[in-house]
Amino acid sequence: MPSLNSENLKKSIFLMPALFLFSNTWADVVVSVIAILFLFHSGNRKNWEWTKRPWVIAALSLWVYAITICSPLAVYPGASFETTLFIRFILFGAALAYWILQDKTAKKWFEYGVVAVIVFIIIDCFYQAHFGEDLLGFTKTKNRLTGPFGNGEFVPGGFVTKLIFIALASIFCATKFKSLLTRTTLLLSSMVVVLVFVFLTGERAPLVSFLLSCAIVLTGLFVLYPRLRFLLLSGCVAMIISVGIIKTLNPVMYQRSVSTILENVTDMENSVYVNIPKSAIDIWINTPETNIFTGVGLRNYRTIINLTENANIKDRYKISAIDNIHHTHNIYIEWLVGAGIIGLIGFSTMVLLLLKDLIWHNIYSTKSALPLFATAAFMTAFWPLVPSVNYFTNKHAVIVWMTVGWALAVTMKKKNKNTS
């Protein structure tokens, strides 16, 4: 039966982040294999305690609902049934949390892998921003970077943002530096570098998500460590100054990353980030073959909104210039439209129960800073009002559930019996 007794197998976890980032096919294969092995492992040890976790019960209930009620009633059942394969991500996240990352060696090498990938992407993007091409020969556009992901793949900011708090936790909580001041200085310096990086990528949603999650960590540290307060405030000032420097040296990028965000907030009526969700809600309410309780079907919005006969909906919400809309730009709206009120309640319940595991049971933890990073890492993907994609249907799901698994693993109060 699968085990983690081999040191080489534990160290191979180092390759997981890179594999997941740069190969969609292999990422899906590895996720599926890990999910299946975890089931075999649990059965072999006759230990299914992880299935009693409230968030797991909520997630599996959501999957049962999607496959038995939501999908059969969908406008396009085939697309919805295909999406219900998201159970592999739930099992993958649980496998990391309650099995693989409970091993200290595997966890250490996993975090090394995350740090290595993040450092490579950031260096590659800085190189591309300066020279026009990255280290692999991919070219940037006027206001977007591709990094090592390839032409037309404007995602480096999104991927790094979802993983960065794993790396920042390693810097602050697991570094060999014993001095709290040294670790905090390294943490704040890293945050400034990442902030500049995300600005340069031209990705607005990751920028907002990163800043909100930074607020969780910095506020928590401000409360936990009174003697660090001046240093933490100095770090915040450094982040503001870095934004000012970007405005001076790269006004085009500042215009895209800051000015357009402010414009979208002040002129929401014409904001694409508001109008696309509005069009989704319109479809959810007015699609005649369905009802508001079960929705139009998972991943059906992308087909319905792009139908020729629905051009009037695009015109109504001023999004007709977008040829092909792929998602609702908000994961909560995605569940509301695709799976109805029942689906939204189920998904939101799962998110809240995950947060409970990350926060509530760790209030009196001896490593009180670690839950801050775990919560921040989790929230980079689950902020309710930040534009996002569906984390159950594409390559982004792999990264999100890898982060969820890590966040749960590092905040567990004691070693789980499922660990090899």
**Structural domain boundaries of the chain?**
10-268+325-410
Question: For residue 419, is pLDDT > 70?
Answer: no
Whether 332 has a pLDDT exceeding 90, the answer reads yes
315-324 mean pLDDT: 80
pLDDT at 418: 44
Closest among 346, 348, 326 to 395, alpha carbons compared: 326
**pLDDT score at 417:** 44
**pLDDT-based confidence at residue 90 (cuts at 50, 70, 90):** very high
Q: Residue 382, CB half-sphere, CA atoms under 13 Å: how many?
A: 22
Instruction: Report the alpha-carbon distance of residue 19 to residue 26 in Å, rounded.
Output: 7
List, in order, residues 6 or more apart from 378 with CB less than 8 Å away. Answer: 354, 355, 358, 403, 404, 407
Could you tell me which residues come within 8 angstroms of residue 35 by beta carbon, excluding any fewer than 6 positions away? 87, 88, 91, 92, 95
Kindly indicate the confidence band of residue 271, based on its pLDDT and cuts at 50, 70 and 90. Answer: confident
Distance CA 87, CA 300 (A): 19
More confident residue, 9 or 202: 202
Whole-angstrom CA distances from 250 to 140, 142, 241, 257, 264 are 15, 11, 14, 11, 21
Cβ-in-10-Å burial (0-12, 13-18, 19+) of 111 comes to buried
And the tokens for 375?
A: 């919560």
Report pTM.
0.89
The predicted pLDDT at position 345 comes to 97
Does 256 have pLDDT greater than 90? no
Other residues' Cβ atoms within 10 Å of the Cβ of residue 242:
16
Q: Phi and psi at residue 295, in whole multiples of 5°?
A: 75, -175
Amino acid at 43: G
pLDDT band of residue 270 (cuts 50, 70, 90) is: low
Between 7 and 103, the higher pLDDT residue: 103
Phi and psi at residue 291, to the nearest 5°: -135, 165
Return d(Cα 336, Cα 316) in angstroms, integer: 20
Identify the band that residue 414 occupies on the pLDDT scale cut at 50, 70 and 90: low
Mean pLDDT of all residues belonging to the chain:
86
